Structure 1
Amino acid sequence: MEEVNKFEDLRIKLLNEVIQWDNKPNLTKEFKENFFKLLELCTFSMMQDKDNFFALFTVQMKREIRLDLDTAVGNMASLTHFNIYFNPYIFLQCSIEEMKALIKHEIYHIMNNHLKRAKSIRGKYSSVAISKAMDVSINQYIDKLPAWSDNLTNVSLTYNIDLKPNENMEYYAKEIQKGIDKLKSNKGKEIIENRDDKNSKLVKKEHDSAHAHDLWWYSEDDLNLEQLKDLIKKVANNANKGKIPSEIQQIIDDLNKIPEISWKDYLKKIIGTLPSGHKKTITRKDRRQPYRLELRGKLNNHIAQIIIAIDISGSITDGEIDQIMTEVFNIIKSYPSEITIIECDNQIRRVYKVKNKRDIRKKLDTRGGTSYSPVFEYIYSHRMRNHLLIYFTDGVGEKELTCMPINYKTLWVITGKGESLSLNNSYGEVKRLSNIKVEKPDPTYAKDTMKDMLVEWQK
């Protein structure tokens, strides 16, 4: 009780100081010290049971104050650590239980990799739909959030939709966008999406759920998917001690999956052996007639010709495609390459060339089944004999090809929950993306940090 009273006295003191600022914030050294002292007290109170994970995660984050946040708490990632930001105008109005819930909320965002997933569907859905979808997908697992937090009930009522529990962010974004589109036709687009004049101010004093994640949209993102995944894995494993929520444990287990066989190593090896034809050059004599100086010689043309076929029958998500492309382009960045994308379900839907990941188009929304033969028929008819084919699929399709492969080599990469390739004869190598194996975290991590916090808290 004494600890709670100490926390509450400090919160009220800081809140009164913020209220006196009015529109002229005065972030003195003393205010910052007291504010971060409050955060330490809040973090220490989480050091028990299932909240222990969130406390140990938080002490690994760099804490900063930002008055331009549209919400109480936000986060961003750097190459080596996560930053957690607080807007004291909004945060100090919350009780200690609500503060703990808000901190857990940010960690759920991080653990679910919402930053990358949100950017992968931006353009397909509005920023309002994506922002609310991210919050709805995780808030159902967090108790004692502030009343202004988005949840299944209030978002369903707002947009006259029926959101199901325990679904992913992408599902909620799609459903919320449907509700937004219906309201647009009745009320006008500006009612739903436009920011008003108060939102253009640098200092934000109220939570704005529609723009709570604008920090992500307007920031430079230097991390690729694998770097961010590695950072999440490192911090989560360091915090993985004692009891943790089952949904967090599942994410940690997924993060610690180790490839069953390295399809990426296989791809690196095979690219160097691709047949690539020849090109004429004046720097080399013709080997058959070396005395004919007017004849040009030949050099090997070291340009890897690669076809990436993607099964778009519905089993592969946009997030999986984004991960696939990140890995592929990371592998081939050291090799001159010509890449052709073929999207296919039970027929070829789209074919286009790409030079980098930014050229990848959003996956088409199709309803077809899965057939592999159309891709091999396309390769045959376009005489793409010297191409390497990388075919991403969940493996569920036909058993026999109607067209014998003529391409140089084929690599099948089984994604998602797929166990094996349905073809009786694959005519190539078959690899799976990953297999589960959990690594034990370092049990000594954050020990010194928590000791320092205890000493400070007892003063």
Structure 2
Amino acid sequence: MTPVDRNNLIADGVKKLLDQAPIYGNIILKLGRVMDAHAKAPFGLCWQSGSWQLVVNPRLVQQQYATPEQIALALAHEALHMIWQHPTRYANVTQRQVVVDYGTDVAVNQYLPTGLGTLPNLVTRQSIWTDYGIQLAPHQDSAVYITELAQHDVIRKTSGGGDETSHVGWQNIAGDLPQAQSALGTLVQQATVPVHSIGRGQLPVPVQRALAALTTPLLPWHALLNMGRHAQPDQHSLTRTRFNRRQPYRLDLLGTTPRYSPQLAVFIDQSASISDAQLQVMQAYGQQIVSSFGHGVQLYAFDSKVQPLSSAQYLTRVANGGTTFQAIFDALQRKKLTPKDTKVVIFTDGAGENTALKTAFQDVFWVLPPDQVLSIQAPFGTILPLL
């Protein structure tokens, strides 16, 4: 295969990807391109000279891929890593690299376009079961897979079309992590704009939710929620500027200073009246609040009942019934949260019961789509038309 034939094969692969999954193809087109004959995988991602690059080893491309469809699948693999922010999430890893490699590959390979056939030797849930006897649940975040794989003696066995060695470029970020994170979000957001109405709807729902988490604009939640009050100390930091409370005469012992996290209870409406598109944005905003305020935030899903959401569940629909707002305030009372020290944030379309609510919680923020109104009698709190 001549260099011209090889370049034509890559170009045809990009065209195939644009036909099957336009957003994936646009992400690839937005990347710079670096030819590296020493790269250990046909394709990979790296942060270089202030921008994201697609690293291509022409020799390995020629060896491993024979058709445009295979090229398209390999490029879709890289685009999915970008959508789930794997290069920045795992730029500095504490687990063994093989565990991170396999966990991230299993996560994205579940969502490769089905209309392009298959790639041989992919790292998948099935290959992990065959090689190691580890049964991984479907459609989980990479963090879940990494946690599970870290509990086993996993060594490298599988390789091929989403080769784990393509991840070495993720470690090139070093001190540029904030810039790299911002650039990644901007790149994906720009890639989704031309095909927002059509291309996104053709993707698997988990991919749509990951895109929403990445492309939903970051809002100033500290200002919107009037934070700075209603905070209680929830942990303490060691310091030499204070005496130790238990042994104040021991000058060699460190004292402590209180650290404050706001008491925030965030509820996301997952009832049947909420569309997938609305839920994606609500979940993205909920995760923004968690990221902004840390572990002091309690995240819940609700319809007619309330249930806690873990970090592994926040992009999943876990309810689908009718909406009852009173269930939120009953749950707060059961959890013995105090009204004067708790802010309540409720993401909803406003369609619930039409009776007045019975609650002492008044520091409430209702986050509604534009032009929507609350169904309850005697509305209270603050309405934020953010969606």
Shorter chain as denominator, the TM-score bin is 0.5 to 0.7
- The offset of 1:113, in angstroms, is 0.8
Asked if the contact 1:64/1:85 (under 8 Å) is kept, the reply is yes
**Residues 68-77 or 246-255, more deviating:** 246-255
SS in structure 1 of the partner of residue 17 of structure 2? coil
Quickly say closer, same or farther: Cα 1:425–1:412, change in 2 above 3 A: farther
Quickly say closer, same or farther: Cα 1:216–1:174, change in 2 above 3 A: same
Quickly say closer, same or farther: Cα 1:117–1:308, change in 2 above 3 A: farther
SS in structure 1 of the partner of residue 339 of structure 2? coil
The C-alpha deviation readout for 1:322-341, integer Å capped at 9, x for no partner, is: xxxxxxxxxxxxxxxxxxxx
Q: Which amino acid aligns with 2:81?
A: H
Residues in 2 aligned to 1:67 and 1:109: alpha-carbon distance in whole angstroms: 22
Q: List gaps (5 residues or longer) in structure 1.
A: 1-12, 15-30, 182-191, 195-204, 272-305, 310-341, 343-350, 355-381, 397-409, 439-459
From 237, 257, 262, the counterpart of 1:352: 237
Asked if the contact 1:253/1:437 (under 8 Å) is kept, the reply is no
1:14-25 aligned at under 5 Å gives the runs 14=2
Residue equivalent to 1:223: 177
Residue equivalent to 2:189: 233
Number of residues paired by the alignment? 269
Quickly say closer, same or farther: Cα 1:268–1:258, change in 2 above 3 A: same
Residues in 2 aligned to 1:156 and 1:352: alpha-carbon distance in whole angstroms: 44
Q: Does 1:425 align with 2:339?
A: yes
SS in structure 1 of the partner of residue 169 of structure 2? helix
Residue equivalent to 2:15: 44
TM-score for both structures, normalised by structure 2: 0.56
Q: Which amino acid aligns with 1:41?
A: D
Asked if the contact 1:128/1:193 (under 8 Å) is kept, the reply is yes
TM-score for both structures, normalised by structure 1: 0.49
The C-alpha deviation readout for 1:273-301, integer Å capped at 9, x for no partner, is: xxxxxxxxxxxxxxxxxxxxxxxxxxxxx
Quickly say closer, same or farther: Cα 1:40–1:210, change in 2 above 3 A: closer
Q: Does 1:54 align with 2:54?
A: no
Residues in 1 aligned to 2:172 and 2:48: alpha-carbon distance in whole angstroms: 15
Residue equivalent to 1:161: 134
SS in structure 2 of the partner of residue 251 of structure 1? helix
1:336-347 aligned at under 5 Å gives the runs 342=235
From 293, 297, 305, the counterpart of 1:414: 297
Q: List gaps (5 residues or longer) in structure 2.
A: 240-254, 268-292, 303-327, 348-364, 371-387
Residue equivalent to 1:212: 166
- The offset of 1:96, in angstroms, is 1.7
1:101-112 aligned at under 5 Å gives the runs 101-112=73-84
Asked if the contact 2:34/2:55 (under 8 Å) is kept, the reply is yes
The C-alpha deviation readout for 1:11-45, integer Å capped at 9, x for no partner, is: xx23xxxxxxxxxxxxxxxx4x6644432222223
Residue equivalent to 1:70: 40
From 118, 121, 134, the counterpart of 2:90: 118
SS in structure 1 of the partner of residue 75 of structure 2? helix
Quickly say closer, same or farther: Cα 1:83–1:210, change in 2 above 3 A: closer
Q: Does 1:172 align with 2:145?
A: yes
Residues in 2 aligned to 1:159 and 1:428: alpha-carbon distance in whole angstroms: 47
Quickly say closer, same or farther: Cα 1:424–1:352, change in 2 above 3 A: closer
Q: Give the number of the structure whose alpha-carbon radius of gyration is greater.
A: 1
- The offset of 1:77, in angstroms, is 4.3
Quickly say closer, same or farther: Cα 1:229–1:418, change in 2 above 3 A: farther
Quickly say closer, same or farther: Cα 1:58–1:42, change in 2 above 3 A: same
Q: Which amino acid aligns with 1:213?
A: H
- The offset of 1:65, in angstroms, is 1.3
Identical-pair percentage: 14
SS in structure 2 of the partner of residue 46 of structure 1? helix
SS in structure 2 of the partner of residue 47 of structure 1? helix
Q: Does 1:91 align with 2:61?
A: yes
Residue equivalent to 2:221: 263
Asked if the contact 1:90/1:206 (under 8 Å) is kept, the reply is no
Compare relative contact order (CA 8 Å, sep 6+) and give the higher one, 1 or 2. Answer: 1
- The offset of 1:126, in angstroms, is 1.0
Residues in 2 aligned to 1:47 and 1:212: alpha-carbon distance in whole angstroms: 22
Asked if the contact 1:63/1:84 (under 8 Å) is kept, the reply is yes
Residues in 2 aligned to 1:161 and 1:148: alpha-carbon distance in whole angstroms: 17
Residue equivalent to 1:251: 210
Q: Does 1:129 align with 2:129?
A: no
Q: Does 1:140 align with 2:102?
A: no
Q: Which amino acid aligns with 1:175?
A: E
Residues in 2 aligned to 1:35 and 1:253: alpha-carbon distance in whole angstroms: 35
Residues in 1 aligned to 2:344 and 2:103: alpha-carbon distance in whole angstroms: 36
Residues in 1 aligned to 2:341 and 2:265: alpha-carbon distance in whole angstroms: 17
Asked if the contact 1:109/1:115 (under 8 Å) is kept, the reply is yes
- The offset of 1:47, in angstroms, is 3.4
Q: Which amino acid aligns with 2:223?
A: D
**Residues 34-43 or 67-76, more deviating:** 34-43
Quickly say closer, same or farther: Cα 1:220–1:307, change in 2 above 3 A: farther
The C-alpha deviation readout for 1:80-133, integer Å capped at 9, x for no partner, is: 75311111222123122111100000000000111222246x21x211011011
